[in-house]
Structure 1
C-alpha cells in the first residue's frame, strides 16, 4: 500500500535561495525540452534524451540525475496531456479548447515540483535533516519537521523518489512510503453506514453525527467573507481571498481527517466494514436550492471518501460503495419509499408503518443495509493506491 507523507523543510534564507534557483533552473530546462519534444515529436525519454541531455547539462548546469528527471518530467507531462485529450478533458477534437491544448508545447511553472531520487537527496532521520542537491552545490543539514506519527512512517517505509515543492513561500518534501497492508477482515459482522449531507457532513448508522452547527456556522462565515472579497476586485482583496482560500481548504482537510479516523476506528473496534455512498455525480443529481447548492459544492466529499478508504485499507477494514438513490426517502424498517416520508429536512416519518427518526440517521441505516447486501453478493473492498496523509 502506497501513502504519501509531506514534511516541511526549514531552510535558512541562503538555503531557500539555493532551492528556489534550483527549481527555476530545472523547470526552465523542462520547458525548453518540452519545446524540443513538440518540434521533433520525440516524447519518449530515450528519444528525447538524444536531443536535449547534453545541452541541458551545459546550459543550465544541471547534474546528470537532475537532467534525467527534467527530461522524464517532460515526457510524463505529454503522456498526461495525451490521456486528457483522449478522455475528452479538453473537449472534442477540432474544438477551440482541444486545438489550443494540443497545438502548443507544454510549459512548466517556475516553481513546479521537481523529483529527487536517493542520489540527489539523503535523509538523516535522527537529526531531522536532509542533504539535498542544488545548482549551487549540495546543501547539508537542511532541517525538516512534521507530525511524530508521519515521521515514524517516513523513517520506516520511505521508498523511491521524493518531490521538492514550494507552496506559498514554504518548502516541502513529498515522499512516497510503501506500507504493508493489514490483514483484511473477510468476515465482517456487519457494516457501518455513512450518510454524507449538508447540515451534518457525515452521520453513521451508530447515531454519531460529525460536524454540525458549529462547523456549518464557520463555513457560512467563510462563504460571506469570500463573497465580499470577490466583489471588491482589488489587488489586496484578491491577495486576502487567496490566503483565506488556502486556510479554508486546510481546515476542511483537517476535519475530513478527523471524521474518517473516527469512523474507521469504530468499524475496526467492532469488527465491521464501512458502507459509503457512491459519490460519482453527487453534484449533478442533487436538486437543492441555491444556498444549499453552494454549501454542497464547497465541501470536499470526495476527499472524505478517499480518506476513509485508505485509512480502512490500512486497518484491514472492508469498504463498499452503494447506490445512494432514495436512501433519504426509504424507510429503514418497512422499506416504503415516498417523497412524503420527509416532511422536513431533519425529520423522517414513514407514511406506512409510522416509523419516525432523524432523516440522516434513517438514510445511514439504509446505506448500511445496502452495504451488507453488496458484500454478500461478492463486492470487494476498495481503497485508493496513493493518498496524501499530511
Structure 2
C-alpha cells in the first residue's frame, strides 16, 4: 500500500507522518474485516449479509477516531496544552482538561500514540499509558463472582450489587425511545439524538464502582478473583421474547473487563472458570439438579436440604472452581530431582 499510495497522499498535501498513519489505519481496517469474516462473525459463505460485507469497500466516518504519534502531537503538561498537526497546519496551545490524578499519570506513564475522537460535538484525546504491573501474589483464598441481570454481581464474601436501579433506568430509556420513535417529528428525532448512549453511559458509570469494590475486597484479604467465562452466552441461551432485550443489553463483558484491568493494576490474581452447573450445584454437598433452582432468587438442594439465595450459592461454587483452576495452572512447587 505504501508503494502505491504514499506518493499520491504526499501530493494531496499530507505530511509524511500523516500519510503513513492513513495507510496504517486503512490496512488495519481491512485486516480486522478479514479476521471477522474468517471467524464467521458475518455468517457462513452465501448469505446476503456476508456477500455485501465482502464486496463493499471499507468506509471511514469524518468523525472517526484518528491516531497521532509524538511527531504529530506533543504534550505540554505544565501548561496543560497540546500541539497537534492538522491538514490546515499545526495548532498550538490547545488546552485540555483532566483530573490531577490523570495529569500525574500522563506525566509519568504516557507512551506511544494518542487517539483523537469526537463525540456529541466534544473532542477527546485518549492517551496510552504504560503502567508497570505489580507482581501477582499467591492467593490465600478465592472470591467467587456471580454475574447476573437482577443482581449485577454477587460475591462469595457477601457483597451484592443490586441491579434494580440499573434495570429501571434501562426500562425507562427503552420506553422513552419507543415513544419518540413512534412520534417521528423533527423535535422527537432531535431528542433521540440527544439521548443516544445515555443508557450506555449510565452503565459505564455503575460497573467501575462495582469492580473497584470487588477488587479492593480481594486485595485486602489476600484473595484471588474467580469469574465465569460467559463468552457466547447470548447465542447459547434461549429466552422468551420479552426477556431478550434484558439479555442483549446485559453488560457482563464490560464489567469483566473492568474487573480484569483493576485486578492487574492491584496485583490481584484473576481466573476464569467454566460456568456449567454453577447455578444448579449445591455448594454444601455438591449435588447437581436442575430442580435445585426453584426460582431466580431461591436455591434449595434436593439432596441435603440446603437453602440459600441462588446467586450466593453460585458464587461459592465459582470460588471453589477458581481454586481448582489456579491449582491446575500454576507451576509445580515440588523440588527438582537431584
**What secondary structure is seen at the aligned counterpart in 1 of 2:250?**
coil
| 1:305 correspondence with 2:252 | no
Name 2:88's counterpart in structure 1: 136
| 1:98 correspondence with 2:41 | no
Name 2:236's counterpart in structure 1: 285
Structure 1 residue runs of 5 or longer lacking an equivalent are 1-47, 381-390
**Shift in Å at residue 90 of structure 1?**
2.9
Counterparts of residues 223-242 of structure 1 (less than 5 Å): 223-242=174-193
Name 2:2's counterpart in structure 1: 49
Q: Please say if residues 274 and 317 of structure 1, whose CA atoms lie closer than 8 Å, have aligned partners that are also in contact.
A: yes
| 1:203 correspondence with 2:154 | yes
Name 1:41's counterpart in structure 2: none
The separation in 2 between residues aligned to 1:91 and 1:339, in whole angstroms, is 33
The separation in 2 between residues aligned to 1:237 and 1:339, in whole angstroms, is 47
**What secondary structure is seen at the aligned counterpart in 2 of 1:89?**
coil
Q: Please say if residues 166 and 203 of structure 2, whose CA atoms lie closer than 8 Å, have aligned partners that are also in contact.
A: no
Q: Please say if residues 331 and 355 of structure 1, whose CA atoms lie closer than 8 Å, have aligned partners that are also in contact.
A: yes
**Shift in Å at residue 366 of structure 1?**
0.8
Structure 2 residue runs of 5 or longer lacking an equivalent are 332-338
Q: Please say if residues 252 and 299 of structure 1, whose CA atoms lie closer than 8 Å, have aligned partners that are also in contact.
A: no
**Shift in Å at residue 364 of structure 1?**
0.6
1:169 to 121, 137, 140: 121
| 1:317 correspondence with 2:268 | yes
When the two structures are superposed, what TM-score results if normalisation uses the length of structure 2?
0.91
The separation in 2 between residues aligned to 1:235 and 1:90, in whole angstroms, is 34
**Shift in Å at residue 123 of structure 1?**
0.5
| 1:362 correspondence with 2:313 | yes
Stretches of 4+ moved more than 4 A in 1? Answer: none
**What secondary structure is seen at the aligned counterpart in 2 of 1:275?**
strand
The separation in 1 between residues aligned to 2:279 and 2:3, in whole angstroms, is 61
Counterparts of residues 189-200 of structure 1 (less than 5 Å): 189-200=140-151
Q: Please say if residues 146 and 228 of structure 2, whose CA atoms lie closer than 8 Å, have aligned partners that are also in contact.
A: yes
The separation in 1 between residues aligned to 2:123 and 2:34, in whole angstroms, is 30
**What secondary structure is seen at the aligned counterpart in 1 of 2:284?**
coil
Q: What number of residue pairs does the alignment pair up? A: 331
**What secondary structure is seen at the aligned counterpart in 1 of 2:197?**
helix
Q: Decide whether aligned partners of structure 1 residues 104 and 362 sit closer, same or farther in structure 2, where only a CA change above 3 A counts.
A: closer
2:166 to 215, 235, 247: 215
Counterparts of residues 1-390 of structure 1 (less than 5 Å): 48-59=1-12, 61-185=13-137, 187-378=138-329
Q: Please say if residues 260 and 308 of structure 1, whose CA atoms lie closer than 8 Å, have aligned partners that are also in contact.
A: yes
**What secondary structure is seen at the aligned counterpart in 2 of 1:201?**
strand
**What secondary structure is seen at the aligned counterpart in 1 of 2:96?**
strand
Q: Decide whether aligned partners of structure 1 residues 239 and 279 sit closer, same or farther in structure 2, where only a CA change above 3 A counts.
A: farther
The separation in 2 between residues aligned to 1:74 and 1:278, in whole angstroms, is 33
Whose RCO is larger (CA < 8 A, sep 6+)?
1
The separation in 1 between residues aligned to 2:57 and 2:303, in whole angstroms, is 64
**Shift in Å at residue 230 of structure 1?**
3.3
Q: Please say if residues 198 and 292 of structure 1, whose CA atoms lie closer than 8 Å, have aligned partners that are also in contact.
A: no
The separation in 1 between residues aligned to 2:238 and 2:44, in whole angstroms, is 28
The separation in 2 between residues aligned to 1:349 and 1:248, in whole angstroms, is 35
